[in-house]
Amino acid sequence: MNDITIIKSERGRDLIVYQSYTFYKEKHINEGVKWCCTHCGCLSKLYLDECSTVIFRCELTHEHEEPRNLSRKIISNSAKTKAADQGIYRPLKIIREEIVNAPVELTQQLNIHNNYYVPLIFALLPNKTIETYKNMFKIIIEKCNEFGLLFMPNLFVADFEQAIHNAINEMFPLCKIIGLATDYRSETEIGKWFRNIFGLSFLNAVEVGESYTDNFMLTIPENHTVQEFSDYLVENYISDEGLFPPHIWASDF
Ligand SMILES: [Zn+2]
Per-residue pLDDT of the chain (253 residues; tens, 9 = 90+): 468 888 877 777 888 989 889 999 999 998 899 999 999 899 999 999 988 888 989 999 999 988 877 777 777 777 777 776 665 556 666 666 766 666 556 667 777 877 666 778 888 887 888 999 999 999 999 999 999 988 888 777 776 577 888 898 899 888 777 665 566 666 788 888 887 887 888 888 888 888 898 888 888 888 887 888 888 888 888 888 887 888 877 876 5
- At residue 177, what are phi and psi to the nearest 5 degrees? -115, 130
Task: Give the pLDDT score at 1.
Answer: 45
Q: What letter would DSSP give residue 212?
A: I
The environment of the single-atom ion ligand 1, i.e. residues with CB closer than 5 A, is 37, 39, 42, 44, 62
CA of 6 to the centre of ligand 1 (A): 17
CA of 227 to the centre of ligand 1 (A): 60
The helix/strand/coil state of 76 is: helix
User: pTM of the entire structure?
Assistant: 0.43
Give bridge partners of residue 27 from the DSSP assignment: 34
CA of 64 to the centre of ligand 1 (A): 6
Q: How far apart are CA 110 and CA 124, in angstroms?
A: 6
Task: Give the pLDDT score at 245.
Answer: 84
37, 94, 24, 103: which is closest to 70 by C-alpha? Answer: 103
The helix/strand/coil state of 35 is: strand
CA of 12 to the centre of ligand 1 (A): 21
The helix/strand/coil state of 158 is: strand
CA of 240 to the centre of ligand 1 (A): 52
Burial profile 220-229: b = 16 or more Cβ within 10 angstroms, e = fewer: ebeeeebeeb
CA of 70 to the centre of ligand 1 (A): 14
CA of 34 to the centre of ligand 1 (A): 14
Q: How far apart are CA 135 and CA 95, in angstroms?
A: 21
Cβ contact 20:9 at 8 Å: no
CA of 36 to the centre of ligand 1 (A): 8
Strand 155-158 relative to strand 176-179: parallel, antiparallel, unpaired? parallel
CA of 79 to the centre of ligand 1 (A): 25
Number of C-beta neighbours around residue 112 at 10 A: 16
Helices marked H in 86-223: 91-101, 130-146, 162-171, 181-185, 189-197, 205-211
CA of 59 to the centre of ligand 1 (A): 10
Q: How far apart are CA 100 and CA 139, in angstroms?
A: 23
CA of 24 to the centre of ligand 1 (A): 11
Q: What letter would DSSP give residue 29?
A: -
Task: Give the pLDDT score at 207.
Answer: 87
**Interaxial angle between packed helices 189-197 and 224-233, expressed in degrees from 0 to 180 and rounded to the nearest 10:** 10
Cα Rg for the chain, rounded, in angstroms?
24
- CB neighbour list of residue 43: distance below 8 Å, 6 or more residues apart: 36, 37, 59, 61
